[in-house]
Structure 1
Amino acid sequence: MRILLLSQWFDPEPIFKGLPFARELAAQGHEVEVLTGFPNYPGGKLYPGYRVQLWQREVMDGIPVTRVPLYPSHDESGLKRALNYTSFAFSAALLGALLTRRPDVIYVYHPPATVGFPAMVLSLLKRVPFVYDVQDLWPDTLAATGMMGSPRVLALVGRWCDAVYRRAARVVVLSEGFSLRLQERGVPERNIQVISNWCDETQIVPVETETKDAEFKDRFNIVFAGTMGKAQALDTVLDAAALVGPLRPEIQFVLIGGGVEVENLKRQAQERQLENVLFLPRRPFSEIGAVLAQANALLVHLRNDPLFEITIPSKTQAYMFVGKPILMALEGDAAQLVKDAQAGVTCPPENPPALAQAAIQLADLPLQDLEWMGKNGAKYYRERLSLAVGTRHFLEVFDEALRESRRGPFNKRLLDLLASSVGLMVLSPVLLGLAFKIRQEMGSPVLFRQQRPGLWSRTFTMYKFRTMRDALDAHGQLLPDSERLTPLGRFLRSSSLDELPELFNVLRGEMSLVGPRPLLTEYLERYTPEQARRHEVRPGITGWAQVNGRNAISWEEKFKLDVWYVDNRSLALDLKILWLTLVKVFKREGISASGEATMPVFQGTAHHKP
């Protein structure tokens, strides 16, 4: 399999799904190419040996890497951060199409969400599927970290992300919580795969040492290693240190790394004269193992935000890999992971007393208990979270996406556009003639408009020619459909000419020529989960159910046929359905259910009625 890795960040930048992932994919027999930017993360400055140019090619450990230009920045300026993200997105979309070979599948690393733009462009131009690996839930993360506060902008970002999710062949997430959140946003469960993160196993080398650096000697060291930003809320650690200091002066909190909050935290610690807080500069991955080996426990802390309850910070896997007890100051999925692995203790975030108590609890444990926790974490990592295990899971997802893409759905939208455009032009005299006739016999309006659920159950306005009068009974209620249906309306329905205005919906991308028919919005809550899968594709003017009984079969039979189409759709099948539709229309078969103008109201499957 030929795989293109698309990521704004790549080695030598610190990204755990960078070069080690590419090497592991290649080691398992696959051809890998990387499309990325010029390295500047996390400092916002270009790495030595690099300068921004139109493009640059290099080979890293046998992996071809193509770099495209971007605006280097990673400070608190929203404008500069936006320039950083969008500059890469456009250069990757424009130059990536020219500079990379056609892969079988594209792997896309998110964040930032702007990487979805080149993903969709390359997927369209190269006619291949892309798998979208969601590491941060935007816009949730933007709001939680304070990067963005405008509700309008956050809503726009959310709609953009939803559009990317809909176009991805598969969406990979790092936790069950992420999966549930995306399902709430309309992504089908079958399109989501949970694959836990791993750490950079080649760089973080576990070291066994009995000697400690001077700063670590005679202390119980609780180490935090990583970015110190607003999301980490490490002022809580300072507050906990102030509580612990008078009680257990040997407990020391060690903060290692860089980030926008480092100087502020140092200033606070100095002003408060916290002698049990030690700051160390950021270390390269190749050295971090030796530092972590001197820790007695390793700390994870994030802000108290609902988003972080479904997040598993990437440092968790690194901590487990090196075999040290974890102090997980989070709730939700990350805390549950530590509990399942029996690899440490947990406490609520942004709660200084709870953090102080957890630190003392760890310091009071016998050495053998601490070692037991560390070994549990390392074993859990090897068996469930390692690079080799995760890569195998990704290859399974890539294979699924590739097999589905070979059914041919990527030509479907092009066929819809061409057919609807030509159809509207050729049939314009017919459309105008029918509109005039309807206006004469039934008055205005000529078109019937109704909200119907489309792709991912999102509603749209469907257009059809009007076939019924608005006749009322003595109580002011509409008469039954059979009594309001006019002779002209019966002809339009039997010949399916009433469906012709739906070509406008096809042209706008709300419908397809072929797909499950769009039904009433009130049916949505009556479907079983399996029946609801009919909304995983655009609804159609005609469909597999329409050429296999239409309205003469039961609702359950129709839905089974709809779902079968979702799982087996292809260009060849669409062409077959279009031909059979012409035959059925000519024969006027299956126009209505027995005793009905069309079909009875769907009340829900018997065993699934709400």
Structure 2
Amino acid sequence: MKILIISQWYDPEPTFKGQLFAEELVRRGHDVQVLTGFPNYPTGTLYPGWTMRVYQREVVRGVRILRVPLFPSHDSSARNRVLNYASFALSAAVGALFLPRPDVAYVYHPPATAALPALVLALVKDVPFVYDVQDLWPDSLEATGMVSDHRVLRAVAWGMRRLYAAATRVVVLSPGMRTLLGRRGTPEGKTDVIYNWAYESDLGTRRDSTGVAVATRPAELPHAFTVTFAGNLGSAQGLDVVLDAAEILRDDPGVAFVIVGTGLEEARLKQSAVDRGLEGVIFLPRRPVTEIGPILDASDALLVHLVDEPLFQVTIPSKTQAYLLTGRPVLMGVAGDASELVEKAGAGLTFPPGNAGALADRVRRLRTMSPEARAEFGTRGRLFYDETMSLRSGAAAFERTFERARPLRPWRLAVKRGADAAGSAAALAVLALPIAGLAVAASRALGTPVLFRQERPGRHGEPFEMVKFRTMNDARGPDGDLLPDGERLTRFGSFLRSTSLDELPSLVNVLRGDMSFVGPRPLLMRYTRWFTAAERHRLDVRPGVTGLAQVSGRNTTPWDDRLALDVDYVRGLSLRRDLRLLVATLARVTRRSGVVVDAESIMQNLDDARRDREARS
């Protein structure tokens, strides 16, 4: 597969989906191209040895990289940040047009503006794209103080909804983020949760037989129980809690807090520590990933903290993965998904964000534990990382997402939807009188209402109300319950089913965009939870009035085969195939081939069949 990675940040800048990710995809047999800018993050100045050019091509360990110019900046100025984001978006959008067409594009967010090249490729070259959301806009813009004008924030929120809708698939880094996007209108069935990973090759360390790091203590670290925070020193990190906890523990010379990094809050925090006489707080300059490993390995506990904002409850700070990989106990001061992850992994202790007393208490608890108990935290964290958050497992998950997005080409879907709308409108106009006649006949044979309405899963599993002509009466047994379908199916209803005339009202669903003429049949809502991961691909397109499974046997095809045919249809989606299936459907309906008017008489419901299989296994 040809994969284009679009990211404003890329190696040698610190980023989580950079060269390691690209190399892993190459190792898996994919052709990978990267579109990025010239390195300037996080300092906002061009890295030493680099010169801004119109473009620069590189090949690094099998990965082809195209760098395009941008305005380097990363200070607190909103104007400069906008120029930084906009300049990359525009130059990358132009650069993307000169690259070979990929099968799928991958966009790393933030910033949201990095999606512009993918939108251009979707429009000009019909390229589907996967949008990887690392933080939520406008939430993070407001939380970090970058934007405070509510009119601007509302405009950004509107733009993000449009962007999520345009993306073929959306990837988020936590379950809570998927739920939040779902409440904002992005179907959860369109969104995949894929955890970030750490810089494994750079953070690799010597380990004992249990997997715990064996480290030589760097001279910069104090000879005390050391709690280390490493990363950006900004307002979102809320690191005053560290100074407050150090003040609570002032009388305990056996505890030290080490803060490694740089950022907008660095000078103020340092001055505050001096003013308060906190000798147990030590600041070290920012380290590249290749040099931070020994400090993390030699620390007794590793601290993660963010201020108590709703946004951060659905965030898993990227340093979490590095800490788990290192195999040291984690002190997690982030509410929501991040704390739940640490507790699930059994990798350390959690505390409420901003609560210095709770942080001081957790430090005391860790310090009084035996070395073996602390080592057990690290071992469990490392094991959890290897199984669920490693580069290997994450790249495999992205590979599945890319494969899922690949056939869903934007223009192909747009033309398909246009044909559905035009065709259904024309069919309803031509068939208006026959449909009205059938409605009258159904009313006389079955009474009112003449339409059968039922909630079914549409695209991405989102429910819609499907309409058909009624084919069964409401006969009930002595206990008051409806009789089985076969006993309620009327002679007139059997005629409607065998001729597929009961489907005519579904033309309204096609016109509204709930359904397509061709696609996987919309099954019952309760069946969805029984789909395998592969079978869920059938939900990536609108359900159809007819489909490959119906042409291949209608109701006589076993469930496994029927769902496999649905997935095959999605993976081989094409307009030419749709036309062939429509012609084949008309031929089968005319011959009444493969008709079973009472499907339950010859096969189990999907949920019953899968439940029985699960019980047998």
- Please state whether the residue corresponding to 2:72 is helix, strand or coil: coil
User: 1:477 maps to what in 2?
Assistant: none
- Please state whether the residue corresponding to 1:299 is helix, strand or coil: strand
Deviation digits for residues 508-531 of structure 1 (CA, Å, limit 9, x no counterpart): x77644346899xxx979987769
User: 2:399 maps to what in 1?
Assistant: 398
User: 1:242 maps to what in 2?
Assistant: 247
Query: Which segments of 5 or more consecutive residues in structure 2 lack a partner in the other structure?
Result: 207-213, 436-452, 468-499, 599-606, 610-617
Q: Using the alignment, how far apart are the partners of 1:406 and 1:285 within structure 2? A: 33
Give the letter for the 2:363 counterpart: A
Q: Is the 8 A contact 2:7 2:35 kept in 1?
A: yes
Change (3 A) 1:70 1:461: farther
Shift in Å at residue 251 of structure 1? 2.1
Q: Using the alignment, how far apart are the partners of 2:253 and 2:205 within structure 1? A: 30
Give the letter for the 2:48 counterpart: P
Shift in Å at residue 67 of structure 1? 0.9
- Please state whether the residue corresponding to 1:188 is helix, strand or coil: helix
- Please state whether the residue corresponding to 2:375 is helix, strand or coil: helix
Shift in Å at residue 40 of structure 1? 1.6
Matched, 1:186 2:187: yes
Q: Using the alignment, how far apart are the partners of 1:241 and 1:50 within structure 2? A: 41
Q: Is the 8 A contact 2:32 2:64 kept in 1?
A: yes
Q: Using the alignment, how far apart are the partners of 1:384 and 1:399 within structure 2? A: 17
Q: Is the 8 A contact 2:333 2:350 kept in 1?
A: yes
Shift in Å at residue 395 of structure 1? 3.6
User: 1:304 maps to what in 2?
Assistant: 308
Change (3 A) 1:34 1:575: same
User: 1:209 maps to what in 2?
Assistant: 216
User: 1:33 maps to what in 2?
Assistant: 33
User: 1:231 maps to what in 2?
Assistant: 236
Give the letter for the 2:173 counterpart: L
Query: Which segments of 5 or more consecutive residues in structure 1 lack a partner in the other structure?
Result: 439-449, 464-492, 595-604
Shift in Å at residue 371 of structure 1? 6.0
User: 1:156 maps to what in 2?
Assistant: 158
Shift in Å at residue 282 of structure 1? 1.4
User: 1:112 maps to what in 2?
Assistant: 111
Q: Is the 8 A contact 1:512 1:540 kept in 2?
A: yes
Shift in Å at residue 21 of structure 1? 2.5
User: 2:44 maps to what in 1?
Assistant: 44
Q: Is the 8 A contact 2:202 2:293 kept in 1?
A: no
Change (3 A) 1:337 1:38: same
Give the letter for the 1:348 counterpart: P
Change (3 A) 1:276 1:543: same
Change (3 A) 1:453 1:272: same
Q: Using the alignment, how far apart are the partners of 1:41 and 1:461 within structure 2? A: 49
User: 1:600 maps to what in 2?
Assistant: none
Q: Using the alignment, how far apart are the partners of 1:356 and 1:537 within structure 2? A: 52
Matched, 1:291 2:295: yes
Q: Is the 8 A contact 1:105 1:398 kept in 2?
A: no
Matched, 1:579 2:583: yes
User: 1:68 maps to what in 2?
Assistant: 68
User: 1:136 maps to what in 2?
Assistant: 135
User: 2:475 maps to what in 1?
Assistant: none
1:262-301 alignment runs, 5 A limit: 262-301=266-305
Q: Is the 8 A contact 1:4 1:107 kept in 2?
A: yes
Change (3 A) 1:578 1:139: farther
Q: Using the alignment, how far apart are the partners of 2:264 and 2:393 within structure 1? A: 36
Q: Using the alignment, how far apart are the partners of 1:186 and 1:85 within structure 2? A: 28
Change (3 A) 1:26 1:345: same
Give the letter for the 1:23 counterpart: E
- Please state whether the residue corresponding to 2:270 is helix, strand or coil: helix
Give the letter for the 2:111 counterpart: P
Deviation digits for residues 352-388 of structure 1 (CA, Å, limit 9, x no counterpart): 110111122233344x3476247515742673367xx
Q: Is the 8 A contact 2:16 2:196 kept in 1?
A: no
Deviation digits for residues 296-337 of structure 1 (CA, Å, limit 9, x no counterpart): 322111122344344322212222333433222234443344
User: 1:11 maps to what in 2?
Assistant: 11
Q: Using the alignment, how far apart are the partners of 1:372 and 1:34 within structure 2? A: 40
Deviation digits for residues 126-171 of structure 1 (CA, Å, limit 9, x no counterpart): 5555444333244444454444453623531441353145x12xx4
Q: Using the alignment, how far apart are the partners of 2:374 and 2:108 within structure 1? A: 35
Give the letter for the 2:202 counterpart: T
343-352 or 541-550: bigger deviation: 541-550
Q: Using the alignment, how far apart are the partners of 1:394 and 1:53 within structure 2? A: 32
Q: Using the alignment, how far apart are the partners of 2:181 and 2:530 within structure 1? A: 16
1:401-412 alignment runs, 5 A limit: 401-402=402-403, 404=404, 412=412
User: 1:260 maps to what in 2?
Assistant: 264
Q: Using the alignment, how far apart are the partners of 1:2 and 1:437 within structure 2? A: 50
Percent identity over paired residues: 43
Q: Is the 8 A contact 2:218 2:295 kept in 1?
A: no
User: 1:413 maps to what in 2?
Assistant: 413
Q: Is the 8 A contact 1:344 1:373 kept in 2?
A: no
* RMSD (Å), alpha carbons: 5.3
Q: Is the 8 A contact 2:301 2:330 kept in 1?
A: yes
Q: Is the 8 A contact 2:130 2:405 kept in 1?
A: no
Q: Is the 8 A contact 1:203 1:286 kept in 2?
A: yes
The size of the alignment, in residue pairs, is 560
Shift in Å at residue 235 of structure 1? 1.6
Shift in Å at residue 9 of structure 1? 0.7
Q: Is the 8 A contact 2:36 2:92 kept in 1?
A: yes
Deviation digits for residues 167-207 of structure 1 (CA, Å, limit 9, x no counterpart): 12xx4443444454455541217x62534522343266677
Give the letter for the 1:243 counterpart: I
- Please state whether the residue corresponding to 2:249 is helix, strand or coil: helix
TM-score in terms of structure 2 length: 0.71
117-126 or 57-66: bigger deviation: 117-126
128-137 or 228-237: bigger deviation: 128-137
Q: Using the alignment, how far apart are the partners of 1:152 and 1:217 within structure 2? A: 48
TM-score in terms of structure 1 length: 0.71
- Please state whether the residue corresponding to 1:46 is helix, strand or coil: coil
Shift in Å at residue 549 of structure 1? 11
Q: Using the alignment, how far apart are the partners of 1:345 and 1:461 within structure 2? A: 47
